[in-house]
Amino acid sequence: MSDVRKPRWARWCLGVGVALALVSGGSIIALRATVHAAADAIPQADLLGSAAPTATHASVSGAKNVLLVGIDRRATAKPGDPTRSDSIILLHISADHQHAYLISLPRDSYVSIPAYDNGAQSYRGGKNKINAAFAYGSRGLTGTAALTHGFQLLSLTVEKLTGITPDAGAVVDFEGFQQIVTELGQVCMYVDEDTTSIHVGHRADGSSAAPYALNSDGTVNHKIKGVTANFYAQGNHCFTPADALDFVRQRDLLANHDADYGRQRHQQQFLKAVLEQTVSKGLDSPTKLPGLLTAVGKAVTVDGGGVSLEDWVFAMRNLDPSKLVTLKTNAGQFNSATVPGAGSVQILSADSLALFQAAKNDRVGAFAAAHPSWVAGT
C-alpha cells in the first residue's frame, strides 16, 4: 500500500489532530511538513479489505463514517491467539464537516457474523457477540495479518448490522496508548462514577500487586487479602500513563453497575480528553511533537481508503474537538438475554438501530436532539 493512504481522522480521534492547530495558526508549508511527518509515523494496513487504489489527491466531500476498534493485547497472550475487540466505535462526521459523533457498539451485542476465510482458518458464519467477529477473523494469524483480517470481518459484521460501509478505519492498541499519555505528561478528565480497579493495586509496603483473582474470562473471582485496589473517585482526575490504561480497562467494579456501557463511555470520554489536550498542549510544542507522532505510530494502525492525508486534513480542518458528541446505544441501559453457546448477550433496541440508520443518512444531530438522554456527559 502506498504511503499516500494516511488518513487524518484516525489521529483526530486519538488525540493527534496535528492539522487542526496548524491550519488555524500556522503556515501551509508547516502544515504539509507536519502531515508528512505524521504519515511516516503511522502504520497502514488494508483493514477494510477493499485494497482501494491510492490517490495523490481526492475530494473528501459528504458525510463520513469511520470504524474505530480498540484492542487490548496483554503480555500473557500467546502467538496465534485470537484477538478480541475491546471497544467498537463508529465515528460519524456530518456532511458539512462541522460536527462529529462517537457511537459505541456494545461488545456483547448479539449479531449475525458473515462467513469468512482469512487464509489460515475459515469461519462458516453465524450469530454471536460482535466482538467475536474480530477473533474469528484473526484466528491462526499474527501481527498485521491478524489485525487486518480481524478488522475486515468486524467491518463486514458492522455493515451487515447497520447498512453502513465504513469509509475508513483504525485499530487502537490500548497497551501502546500509554506512550501517548507519557508524551503529554498526563491526561486530565472528569470521572463520572467511582471506579475500582480489578487489575492494579498495592500492598501495605507500597509494592504493586493484583487486587483480585480473575476467572479465565477476565471477570472477578475473589478479592486478594492484603492488597488495596486502585480507586478512581468520581470527580476531576489527572491520569498518569499507567493509571490511564488501568482506568479505561475497568468494567467490573463501577459504582453505577453499568459494566461494559460504563467502560465504553469512559473510553469515549478519555479519547476526547486526549484529543483536546494534544491540540491545546502537545501540538504547540516543537519538542513534544516528534515524540507524539512516534507514540501514535506504536498505538494506531489505519486504513484511509485511498484518500491522501493532505486532503483529509484540509477537509476536516473546521472540526472542533471540544464539540465532539458521544452517544450511547440502548441509552446506556442493559437489554440482556441468555443465548446457548454465547452466554449473556446484549440485544440492540429498535432505537439503537435507528441511530445507526441516522448515521447512514447523516441525521445523527437530529437523533441526538430527539434523544438527549443518549448523549454521554463529559
Per-residue pLDDT of the chain in tens (378 residues, 90 and over written 9):
434 343 333 333 333 333 333 333 344 455 556 656 566 667 778 898 876 555 456 678 899 999 999 886 654 456 656 677 878 999 999 999 989 999 989 889 999 999 999 999 999 999 999 999 999 999 999 888 999 999 999 999 999 999 999 998 888 887 777 888 888 889 999 999 999 999 999 999 999 999 999 988 778 999 999 999 999 999 999 999 999 989 998 999 999 999 888 988 898 888 888 877 776 765 556 667 667 777 777 788 888 777 766 676 667 777 777 778 989 899 888 899 999 989 899 999 999 999 999 999 999 999 999 999 999 865
**Are 136 and 123 contacting, i.e. CB atoms less than 8 angstroms apart?**
yes
* 201: enclosing H helix or E strand: strand 195-202
What is the pTM for the complete model shown? 0.80
Q: At a CB cut-off of 8 Å and minimum separation 6, what does 57 contact?
A: 308, 310, 311
Q: Taking the CA atoms of the chain, what radius of gyration do you get in angstroms?
A: 20
214 C-beta neighbours (distance < 10 Å), count: 14
Residue 318: the pLDDT is: 74
* Residue carrying the nine cell digits 481526492: 58
Q: Is 104 helix (H, G, I), strand (E, B) or coil?
A: strand
C-alpha to C-alpha distance for 137 and 134, rounded to whole angstroms:
5
79 C-beta neighbours (distance < 10 Å), count: 8
Give me the CATH code for the 9-184+285-374 domain, please.
3.30.420.590
C-alpha to C-alpha distance for 304 and 66, rounded to whole angstroms:
9
All 3 cell numbers of residue 173? 492498541
Q: Which residues pair with 337 in a beta bridge?
A: 345
- What are the backbone dihedrals phi and psi of residue 315, each rounded to the nearest 5 degrees, phi first? -70, -35
Residue 3: the pLDDT is: 40
**Are 60 and 315 contacting, i.e. CB atoms less than 8 angstroms apart?**
yes
C-alpha to C-alpha distance for 352 and 331, rounded to whole angstroms:
8
CA 371 vs. chain centroid, Å, equals 23
Residue 34: the pLDDT is: 60
Nearest C-alpha neighbor of 159 from the set 126, 112, 108: 112
233 C-beta neighbours (distance < 10 Å), count: 12
**Are 108 and 127 contacting, i.e. CB atoms less than 8 angstroms apart?**
no
Residue 80: the pLDDT is: 59
